[in-house]
Structure formats: structure tokens, C-alpha cells
């Protein structure tokens, strides 16, 4: 079984500022890791994923994340945010053996203002 923790429920940031959204996971087995974004009244869209290999993963819309096995973290970063990045962001883990259900964190609300 695994669990995912997103410690920050809300992150306010000014436009063009950098941002980091934190994600930590706990698992007794190896996991794949994902970041999804959810805009109001919409489903989830995949931003990026870590399967194996390079620990720095680049995704869509200028986002990137770094897998840190020793700290069991997968923090999401963007060097310069836009108003349009305002949304809910979810970190998720998936057992590499079964590669089936996703276990999600509780989400981080990114609020970008001028």
C-alpha cells in the first residue's frame, strides 16, 4: 500500500514568480509518480510522470519535477507562473508491479495573482 502527502493545501504566488508544490510519498513497494492538474469543473490532466531513469522530469506548460528517492519526494516546480496556472494540483503514486490504481494526495490549490 502507498500514501501520498501534499503538505500545502494552498499556495498563493504572484505572476512571473517561481513556485514549488511539495509531494511526499510512502510505499512498501516501488512506485511510479505523477502530477495531475484539475481546472474548475473539469477532469484531471496529466502534467508529467516519473517512471524510471533521469530523476528530473519535464512536463507540459513549463512544469518540471524531481524524484528524490532518499527523501521520498516528488516536488513540482515552475520557474515563472502565469495567471492561467491557477488550478488544483494533485500528486499521485502507482504500484509499479500492478500499474493499476492511482493513490492521490489531497491536492494543492495554486492561486496566481497579478
Partner 1 sequence: DTGVSQNPRHKITKRGQNVTFRCDPISEHNRLYWYRQTLGQGPEFLTYFQNEAQLEKSRLLSDRFSAERPKGSFSTLEIQRTEQGDSAMYLCASSSPRREQGSSYEQYFGPGTRLTVT
The span from the CA of 9 to the CA of 18, in Å, is 18
Selection from 21, 26, 27, 25 nearest residue 9 by Cα: 21
Would you give the end-to-end CA distance of the chain in angstroms?
41
Single out the segment in contact with partner 1 by CB under 8 A; choices: 12-20, 35-43, 60-68, 78-86: 35-43
Binders of partner 1 among residues 62 to 81 (CB under 8 A) are none
Q: Is 99 in the site for partner 1 (CB under 8 A)?
A: yes
Residues lying near partner 1 in the complex (CB under 8 A) are found at 4, 6, 9, 32, 36, 41-46, 49, 51-52, 90, 92, 94, 96, 99-107
Amino acid at each position: 500500500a502507498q500514501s501520498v502527502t501534499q503538505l500545502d493545501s494552498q499556495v498563493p504566488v504572484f505572476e512571473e514568480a517561481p513556485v514549488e508544490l511539495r509531494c511526499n510519498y510512502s510505499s512498501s513497494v516501488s512506485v511510479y509518480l505523477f502530477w495531475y492538474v484539475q481546472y474548475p469543473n473539469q477532469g484531471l490532466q496529466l502534467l508529467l510522470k516519473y517512471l524510471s531513469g533521469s530523476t528530473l522530469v519535464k512536463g507540459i506548460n513549463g512544469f518540471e519535477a524531481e524524484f528524490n528517492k532518499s527523501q521520498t519526494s516528488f516536488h513540482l516546480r515552475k520557474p515563472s507562473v502565469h495567471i492561467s496556472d491557477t488550478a488544483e494540483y494533485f500528486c499521485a503514486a502507482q504500484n509499479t508491479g500492478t500499474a493499476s490504481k492511482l493513490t492521490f494526495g489531497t491536492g494543492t490549490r495554486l492561486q496566481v495573482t497579478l
